């Protein structure tokens, strides 16, 4: 027996035999449904939802007939009693015409604006059955989740499926946000433990995970604009509609200001990213920080892998392990050293990157101690540094702070090192103080507007009061 809520009508009770009725009517007449079997004893209802089509409520079941056979049942329900109109019941078998060997490992009924049922198959394919059009469609594939075990699915936002399952190595779990419009995985987050037959729910943009007799809220929020911008790449794109007659016999120089180190690579027709990776990698091996500082500024499209290599290179030369980064005074004095490594690190924060591509490199290529140093150094640049930074650079620093929090979130939670707590407390205090400053400015703006317009008057100045007292 299961209780299904409805927006403007009483909730619907679904009995094990497949019958349903509105809550008040079902409580008084439950015995009338005992002998009316809609679902056979050999069948099991695995998914239930109510959806609305043109002011008519429908009930939808996904029924498991045996190990690999599933069936969809849909039927309108009567407004007065909330029971099924048996004459209008509709049954659809769940089959794949393109693959008879694949079997279902995950299913979910979405009852939002566009009612549909989503199935994940053992070959990582996701298919959709439109409950209104009664049509099938293949959405895409999710290769990051193992299909040996069951996969839990939920709906989030307007265009995203959230999937939870075992990772491909079978040594942990993974949660994936999949954009069904673009057919791509927007976000992927590894998790330590996987639980069979876990349940996912989404409420008010938050993900709730029910597993192993426990329930908890996952600390992930779907940032659509940020994710979509990440999918476009890490470089800015400019459209040129001007027509130009090409002369193929005339050599043409690249459009970007290339350094002399890439002159030999131009003839090979390599992309800017490939040339950057080759040139910077060689300079790092040679430990030529002077040339690195000059050459990196001439590349517009810097690969995310090179960015992490340079971060590690700069941090290695800075050697933050030589001090206690939790000692604020010592850390500020240390960062005021105007070395070439600090100059390089400051420029690296300006480079445009793709979140989706950079996060895996950060997790695999950057240590936790390095991440903590970067968080502390960003806090220093925002508050304690004498370096003048504009609003664009400040925004990039906040992006980096968010990125480092996202990339090492689980390590922050699981580690018992007090240094982690000290650094995170410092970051929280810095952000809190900046927010307080914005609040003060926001409250001062009305007064400034009155001063500029000449309408401001001091409430303590009696001579400026807008009235007089005559005796």
Q: Provide the pLDDT for residue 243.
A: 60
pLDDT of 234 reads 44
Work out whether the CA dihedral 291, 292, 297, 298 comes out positive or negative: positive
> Burial code of 118-145, b = ≥16 C-beta within 10 A, e = fewer?
bbbbbebbbbbbebeeeebeebbebebb
- At residue 467, the pLDDT reads 53
What's residue 275's pLDDT?
82
CA 154 to chain centre: 15
* The pLDDT value given to residue 66: 78
For the chain (471 residues), the mean pLDDT of every run of 10, in chain order, is 81 86 82 79 89 88 87 89 86 86 91 89 93 91 91 88 89 87 80 83 84 79 57 47 59 59 66 83 90 87 91 93 89 87 92 85 91 92 86 89 87 84 89 86 82 72 54 50
Find tokens 């198959």 and name the residue: 121
Structural contact between residues 370 and 315, judged by C-beta atoms closer than 8 angstroms: yes
Q: For residue 343, what are the contacts with CB-CB under 8 A and spacing of at least 6? A: 293
Q: What is the DSSP string of 184-248?
A: EEEEEEEES---TT-EEEEETTEEEEEETTEEEEES----HHHHHHHHT-SS------------T
Q: Which of 370, 365, 382 is nearest to 420 (CA)?
A: 370
> Can you list the domains of the chain with their CATH numbers?
1-94 (no CATH), 96-232 (2.130.10.10), 302-433 (no CATH)
């Amino acid at each position: 027996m299961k209780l299904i809520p409805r927006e403007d009508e009483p909730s619907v009770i679904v009995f094990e035999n497949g019958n349903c009725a509105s809550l008040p009517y079902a409580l008084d007449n439950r015995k009338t449904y005992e002998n009316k079997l809609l679902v056979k004893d050999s069948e099991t209802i695995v998914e239930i939802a109510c959806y609305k089509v043109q002011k008519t409520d429908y009930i939808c079941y996904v029924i498991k007939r045996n190990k690999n056979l599933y069936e969809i049942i849909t039927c309108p329900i009567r407004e007065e009693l909330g029971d099924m109109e048996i004459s209008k019941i509709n049954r659809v078998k769940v089959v794949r015409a393109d693959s008879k060997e694949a079997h279902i490992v995950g299913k979910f009924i979405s009852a939002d604006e566009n009612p549909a049922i989503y199935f994940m198959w053992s070959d990582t394919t996701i298919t959709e059955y439109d409950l209104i059009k009664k049509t099938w469609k293949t959405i895409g594939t999710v290769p990051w989740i193992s299909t040996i075990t069951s996969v839990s699915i939920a709906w989030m936002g307007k265009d995203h499926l959230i999937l939870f399952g075992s990772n491909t190595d079978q040594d942990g779990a993974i949660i994936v946000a999949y954009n069904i419009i673009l057919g791509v995985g927007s976000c992927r987050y590894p998790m330590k433990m996987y639980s069979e037959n876990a349940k996912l729910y989404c409420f008010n943009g938050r993900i709730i995970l029910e597993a192993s007799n426990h329930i908890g809220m996952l600390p992930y929020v779907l940032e659509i604009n940020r994710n979509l911008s990440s999918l476009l790449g890490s470089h800015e794109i400019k459209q040129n509609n001007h027509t130009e007659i090409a002369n193929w016999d005339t050599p043409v120089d690249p459009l970007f200001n290339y350094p002399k180190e890439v002159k030999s690579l131009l003839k090979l027709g390599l992309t800017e990213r490939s040339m950057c990776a080759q040139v910077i990698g060689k300079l790092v091996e040679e430990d030529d920080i002077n040339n690195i500082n000059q050459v990196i500024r001439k590349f517009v499209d810097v690969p995310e892998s090179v960015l992490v290599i340079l971060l590690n290179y700069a941090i290695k030369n800075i050697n933050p392990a030589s001090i206690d980064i939790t000692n604020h005074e010592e850390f500020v004095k240390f960062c005021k050293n105007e070395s070439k490594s600090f100059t390089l690190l400051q420029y690296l924060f300006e480079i445009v990157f793709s979140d989706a591509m950079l996060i895996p490199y950060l997790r695999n290529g950057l240590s936790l101690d390095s991440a903590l140093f970067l968080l502390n150094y960003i806090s220093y640049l925002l508050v304690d540094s004498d370096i003048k930074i504009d609003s664009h650079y400040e925004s990039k620093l906040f992006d980096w702070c968010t990125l480092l929090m996202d990339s090492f979130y689980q390590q922050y939670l699981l580690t018992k090192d007090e240094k982690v707590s000290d650094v995170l407390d410092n970051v929280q205090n810095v952000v809190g103080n900046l927010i307080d400053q914005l609040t003060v400015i926001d409250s001062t703006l009305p007064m400034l507007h009155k001063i500029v317009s000449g309408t401001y008057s001091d409430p303590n100045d009696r001579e400026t009061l807008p009235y007089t007292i005559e005796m």
